[in-house]
Amino acid sequence: MKPFITSFDTLLIITAFIIMINGLSRRWALWKKKKDKTFSGSLRRVILYLVKHTEIRKRPFVGAAHMAVFWGFFLPLTIIVLAQFGFSIPNAPALFLSFLQDTIGIVMLAGILYLFFRRIQSGETDGPERTIIPMFILVIILLSGFLAEASRLSITGSNAAWASPIGWIVSFGIPSSPLFMQCMIRLHFFAVLLFIAVIPFTFMRHLASAPLNIFYKKQGPKAALRKITLETGEIGAKTAEDFSWKQLLETESCVSCGRCEENCPAAISGKPLSPRKVIRKILEQAQTAAGCQSRLFKPSAPSLLEDTVSSDEIWACTTCMACVEHCPVFVEAMDKIVDMRRYQVMGKGNLPAEARPMIRDLELYGDVQGKGPAHRADWAMHRDIPRIGDVEDAEVLFWVGCSGAFHPRNKDTAQAFTKILNAAGIRFGILAQEELCCGEISTGFCSIG
Ligand code: SF4
Ligand code: SF4
């Protein structure tokens, strides 16, 4: 019997995988040197994420479409891998699997088309090579698969048409031609190989990078900033190489879905900031520096981030964390923006003109209003508001902040809050003159229990 896969086909399969592995290993070069032990991985986290799709499902339609594409991809892949190991399935479950594959295939096609048109409509394509081409290949894979199945049914007939419902329906509209069937099988085969080969060069590389980013998901408080290490003499990010390996892995995992941008108050209010574009620009810089953009894989001197991310962009960020909260693959645009600011302020002494008086007041008076420690507790005068040191067994330190201490409206809020604490019988205290600006313009409290 003639083998289904010829030696030439085997060569093509090997070539496709070599291209894919070579491409992915180039991507790996982007951040591998920077890997440290700060992040530990969890396979369980990845599996739970993939099964539940919790973050992606926050948008029901996109979530459903992505789930359809994921399972439509994963199920046949599992069957193919099992088949390579000679794993044979009895007739009844095999027919059921065929039914499942057929139905998932049509749902997957609908999902891809939905995501495809949504991307085009929202302009989130970032160039056709990134999104449109791989999606187009996926559509060809599915359509050729259905047509090959349909032509097989139209030639051989089937007494189990229920197991291939889509193929059975399509079989009424196509010729009963063995040549046509062979053409569709070959088209399906070549499209699959092409898809495998283009994974590292398109946004489909998120198939590898996004699970990896979930594997190494940052633990602890969301958007916690990187500690500044003075040993290297470098503060913040001057070039893409100054970001940590995890930060670069995050830029690699971005799927350009635009959720960060849609929820960014700076972008919404018309400021020149798009967290999505910031991530993209950092990735492009990192790619160039690592040589991923060059055919000969030649690394080049990293260019300055400020050449591509403008100071208007980085200073438009309010550090509100909305981008962090809404990203489905745990990419944090905020910490990268803060690192770029750190370099501008502490590395170059560049500060926006409107921030200079505030920084001067911070240095001279320890608050952003320029009032000084002597007036820090004026808001609490003649009220039963104790200092933390005077409270026995204090449970809560009420951190008032510059805003609560000096802003006329927020002073009322701070006073009202102490009434609530008293009414609740909570033993609390304030730092009064000892409190200095924390860098956040807000009123808050922290537990010391
Ligand atoms: S950073 Fe996250 S939310 Fe923003 S475009 Fe990328 S994947 Fe989407
Ligand atoms: S943290 Fe900055 S970039 Fe992110 S949503 Fe808020 S303002 Fe936009």
Of residues 4 and 221, more confidence is placed in 221
DSSP 47-107: HHHHHH-TTGGGSHHHHHHHHHHHHHHHHHHHHHHHHHTT----HHHHHHHHHHHHHHHHH
Give kind and range of the element (H or E) at residue 446: strand 446-447
Is any ligand 2 atom within 6 A of the Cβ of residue 433?
no
State the pLDDT confidence band at 445, using cuts at 50, 70 and 90. Answer: very low
Give the residue extent of every domain in the chain: 7-203, 240-350, 367-447
Domain 7-203 in CATH 1.20.950? The answer is: yes
Residue type, 26: R
Q: What is the pLDDT of residue 130?
A: 72
DSSP letter for 272, please: S
Of residues 302 and 104, more confidently modeled: 104
- CB of residue 329 inside a 6 A radius of ligand 1: yes
Question: Ligand 1 pocket, 283 CB below 6 A?
Answer: no
The number of the ligand 2 atom at minimal distance from the alpha carbon of 275 is 3
Selected from 3.40.1350.10, 2.10.109.10, 1.20.930.40, 1.10.1060.10, the CATH number assigned to the domain covering 240-350 reads: 1.10.1060.10
Q: What is the distance between the alpha carbons of residues 259 and 167, in angstroms, rounded to a whole number? A: 37
What percent of the chain is predicted at pLDDT more than 70? 88
Average pLDDT, the chain: 85
Q: Is the pLDDT of residue 50 over 90?
A: no
pLDDT interval class at 435 (50, 70, 90)? very high
Is the beta carbon of 317 within 6 A of some atom in ligand 2?
yes
How many degrees, rounded to 5, is the angle at CA 103 between CA 80 and CA 143? 75
Query: In 357-426, at which residue ranges do the beta strands (DSSP E only) sit?
Result: 396-397
Helix (H) or strand (E) holding 148: helix 132-156
Q: Is the pLDDT of residue 379 over 70?
A: yes
Ligand 2 centroid to Cα of residue 248, in Å, is 18
For a pocket test of ligand 2, which of 269, 278, 327, 337 has the largest count of ligand atoms closer than 8 A to its C-beta? 337
Q: How high is the pLDDT of residue 443?
A: 41
Average pLDDT over residues 358-365: 88
pLDDT digits 0-9 by tens, 18-45: 999 988 888 777 766 655 666 677 888 8
Report CA torsion sign: 404, 408, 409, 413.
positive
Q: DSSP label at 4?
A: S
* pLDDT at residue 257 tops 90: no
Gap from CA of 113 to ligand 1 centroid (Å): 20
Quote the percentage of the chain above a pLDDT of 90: 37
pLDDT at 414: 94
**Which residue's CA lies nearest to atom 2 of ligand 1?**
327
At 74-102, the pLDDT tens digits run 877 777 777 666 667 777 777 888 888 88
The 10 Å Cβ neighbour count of residue 341 is 21
Atom number of ligand 1 nearest to Cα 275:
4
Confidence grade of residue 4 (pLDDT, cut at 50, 70, 90):
low
Q: Is 318 in the pocket of ligand 2 (CB under 6 A)?
A: yes
What are the tens digits of pLDDT across the range 141-194?
999 999 998 998 888 876 677 788 888 888 888 888 899 999 999 999 999 999
DSSP conformational letter for 305? G
Nearest ligand to the CA atom of 254 = 1
- Residues 35, 37, 42, 43: is their CA dihedral positive or negative? positive
Radius of gyration for the chain, computed over Cα atoms and rounded to the nearest angstrom: 29
Q: Is the CB of 289 under 6 A from ligand 1?
A: no
240 vs 232, residue with greater confidence:
240
Which atom of ligand 2 lies at the shortest distance from residue 324's CA? Answer: 4
Task: List pLDDT tens digits, range 118-129.
Answer: 877 766 656 656
- The span from the CA of 240 to the CA of 72, in Å, is 36
Q: Ligand 1 centroid to 258 CA: how many Å?
A: 5
pLDDT given for residue 180 in this prediction: 92
From the CA of 256, give the closest atom in ligand 1. 5
Residue with tokens 């026995």: 392
- Return the pLDDT at 34: 57
More confident residue, 273 or 28: 273
- The span from the CA of 29 to the CA of 45, in Å, is 25
Read off the amino acid at residue 115: L
